[in-house]
A and B are shown apart, each in its own frame.
Chain A
């Protein structure tokens, strides 16, 4: 998360050297390594600085969503890049995850009770409320987040972003906003699709592995509107967080190609972290609101 650009080595005159050699040239002195408290304080300050920058980026993005320029085809292009190009990846991943979840849940359930009649209902409830959105968003964070960070980071190190600024164009309006809009829409669509895939694959797994009747598995009675609303809110939140966090990582890139790689890694880590934290916040809020 660090955005610091290294530390300049301080120099100061050494009175002892001056006395010994009689020379007036400054001698470089290495400062003492920061202690534990200094490291802790520095980390916390860095965290707050990053949070403030993310917040600033988010607010400016929202501003440009409303008041920004309209570039024809930009949003559709990014929707295609984020959505359609991720469809196969997400379908495969969520299909396997659905199979694994139902298989593990069934095995654990059978150890306690040989009754799997409610497996489908409870699986669907957790899928709608949490699993589809969170797991799907984590998968998208790796693919989409890394892509955004690499793309924006490359533009930063090749000074294209500086050129935009020279032209009085805000890079957030040009680079982040279309990705933000496209991500919110496509992440929601992809998660809905991937949830269906995970459910169908879980149904097939339960049918094949546990001989559970698909009609029994297709039980919607545990899913309530609050759960569906919570899942949709998570979709929107993750869709907003992925381009903001990875765009921030890309915009804060420094150095050459090595910096782009570092920004990509940072984007994946921070986006995944953002998904987890948002999951906690939205789940807790949902619990407090809906019970």
Chain B
């Protein structure tokens, strides 16, 4: 058996080791931190499972901890008028204050897939001022998985009910779809060669189209003639614009004058009596035209008669022999005027 002194030393050693382990664990668990800190108030409507003492992290690095969570705390952000339901007081280390800007985003996320929730910070842009001590800011509420589940459950229930109620219709639809797919498959199988040809033709067509497009680009886009035509068109339009600027006012003036004259004519001729007179005149003109048409027809018939050499005038006009005889007779009478009075 060991001596009493030895026993006491061993027992004391064991106790010291245990106490050291316990003290070290408590200190590490409590997060020993002698850095100066400052507070920021973050408002949430539903901070989910965020607990007091949860870490505050930037890019995964701990920069502080959640000091307090108060329901109906006063932490309304300056740009917001609504009072958030829950106010979270984040205790942040002073050395990170310059990196957390006024437009920083505070949100609640989870460590790992099933881990504890913590407060994360997107530090914001450098052009904004650092977030002041005691400032209030609005945080992004975490996604409500319970609400999502409830709504999904409702959706699923509705879907299942609809499926049950319309089972016959859905079956018919699926049968129809199956028949359609089978028919399409049979059609494809039956017309395999044609489809292959169509595909080949389409491929050729696409190749030709590509060539045609290339040619068209060469001729219509890259062609210097097009450029020249465009330049000339531009010059023409410029000239036309100049002409328009110069002549159109005058033309407009003339047109206005013509329209005014026409308006006066219409005003003069617009009365009922004048219209009746114009109608009567038009009727007379119509009958005159009819008469003229008859006369023209007669004249055409006479002309045709003459052209055919019929009648005296026709013979006179169309018969060259008669013309020659008459010329001879006139010449003879000119030389022998006495023949007017005397017959041989």
Contacts and interface: CB of A to CB of B under 8 A. Distances in A.
Interface of A: 73, 76-77, 79-80, 83-84, 87, 113, 115, 117-118, 121, 185-186, 188-190, 192-193, 195-196, 220-225, 228
A220 B29 CA distance: 6
17 contacts: A73-B7, A76-B7, A77-B4, A84-B14, A117-B111, A118-B111, A186-B14, A189-B14, A192-B21, A193-B18, A193-B21, A220-B29, A221-B55, A221-B118, A223-B29, A224-B53, A228-B26
A117 B115 contact: yes
Contact of A115 (B14, B53, B113): B113
A73 B2 CA distance: 13
A212 to B, nearest CB: 12
Question: Which of the four size classes fits the interface of chain B?
Answer: 20 to 34
Given A80-B10, A222-B116, A193 B17 contact: yes
A246 to B, nearest CB: 20
A83 B14 contact: yes
Contacts, number: 73
B114 interface: yes
Contacts of B11: 76, 79-80, 83-84, 186
A192 B15 CA distance: 10
A220 B62 CA distance: 13
What are the 3 A-B residue pairs with the smallest beta carbon separation, nearest first? A189-B18, A117-B112, A192-B18
Interface in B231-255: none
B186 interface: no
B28 interface: yes
Contacts of A225: 29
A121 B29 CA distance: 12
Contacts of A83: 11, 14
B55 A185 contact: no
A185 B15 contact: yes
Contacts of A195: 21
Given A73-B4, A189-B14, A193-B17, A118 B114 contact: yes
A115 to B, nearest CB: 5
B291 to A, nearest CB: 111
B22 interface: yes
Nearest to A191: B18
B8 interface: yes
A141 B17 CA distance: 22
A113 B22 contact: no
Interface in B144-196: none
Interface string B44-65: 0000000101110000000000
A121 B110 CA distance: 14
Contact of A76 (B4, B21, B111, B116): B4
Interface in B23-51: 25-26, 28-29, 51
Nearest to B2: A80
A193 B29 contact: no
B8 A76 contact: yes
Given A117-B111, A192-B22, A228-B29, A84 B10 contact: yes
A231 B93 CA distance: 31
A187 to B, nearest CB: 10
Contacts of B10: 80, 84
A115 B4 CA distance: 52
A118 B18 contact: no
Contact of A196 (B2, B21, B28, B29): B21
